[in-house]
Amino acid sequence: MVGIRVVLLGPPGAGKGTQAKLLQERFEACQISTGDILRQAVSEHTTLGKQAAGYISRGALVPDDLIVKMVGERLQAKDCEKGFLLDGFPRTLGQAQSLERILQERGLALDAVLSIEVPQQLIIERLAGRRTCRGCGSLYHLAFDPPKSDNVCDRCGGELYQREDDREETIKTRLSVYENQTAPLIHYYRERGILKPVDGVGTVDEIRRRVLQAVGA
Ligand code: AMP
């Protein structure tokens, strides 16, 4: 297996987490989901979790300095030595510049930034039906990818739950935060010549094939 250094960019509900997990099975790379790390910190009541909880529950972004420090530390772990899949980071221009600096200091660069494109109406449908396993973090959708039995994870038997920020009022805030703060990164990475647009409409498998093609696999 080969390593790969990729950013998955796209609005909430675009399928970044699902595709990152699939790419991880194929490449020698760690998956870094900043949302997962933060939710874990919140549930464990760590200092970071206490700092981040309010931002997450109202759908706002956690301040850049906290996020950049968290990702910088995570990237040093052994399982990220050969490569990484960044899911949900960077989300601001400041974070993108910090990432570039961190990688430059280590003599590294991104291979590709996959921009997963999904129309807004579909995003709302996807987020409203999304369920996550408390045990292993597997992702499901009540209509598009349902578990075999209600609220139970097929893989580990864990309980499935709906993220607090996947409720309709918060979804609207998250979408406008995406448009204002994260969408400008599309231009930023296009200018650097590493942006790969991926059509995010279709089945998980169809999108996986497009993703693999975009990274040249
Ligand atoms: P996600 O699971 O990626 O949708 O992230 C859930 C929430 O965690 C976001 O709505 C933010 O509040 C926070 N978050 C995750 N990643 C970042 C990031 N890179 N920068 C700032 N906040 C983040």
What pLDDT score was predicted for residue 23?
A: 93
CA of residue 144 to ligand 1 center, whole Å: 24
Whether residue 174 lies in the annotated active site: yes
Domains by residue range for the chain, with CATH:
4-119+183-214 (3.40.50.300)
Catalytic annotation, pick one of 5, 39, 91, 131:
91
Pocket test for ligand 1, best of 9, 16, 21, 34 (most atoms within 8 A of CB): 34
Which tens digit of pLDDT belongs to each residue from 56-73? 999 999 999 999 999 999
Catalytic position from the list 39, 174, 196, 208: 174
Give the ligand 1 atom nearest the CA of 38.
Answer: 8
Which residue, chain included where needed, has tokens 């696999």? 217
* Percent of the chain whose pLDDT exceeds 90: 88
Spacing, Cα 73 to ligand 1 middle (Å): 17
Closest ligand 1 atom, residue 90 Cα? 19
Please state whether beta strands 5-9 and 84-87 pair in parallel, antiparallel, or not at all (unpaired). Answer: parallel
Question: Which regions of the chain are under pLDDT 70?
Answer: 1
What is the pLDDT, as a whole number, of residue 1?
65
CA angle 171, 6, 211 (to 5 degrees): 75
pTM of the model: 0.91
Instruction: State which ligand 1 atom lies nearest to the alpha carbon of 71.
Output: 19
| Choice among 21, 26, 82, 163 that is catalytic | 163
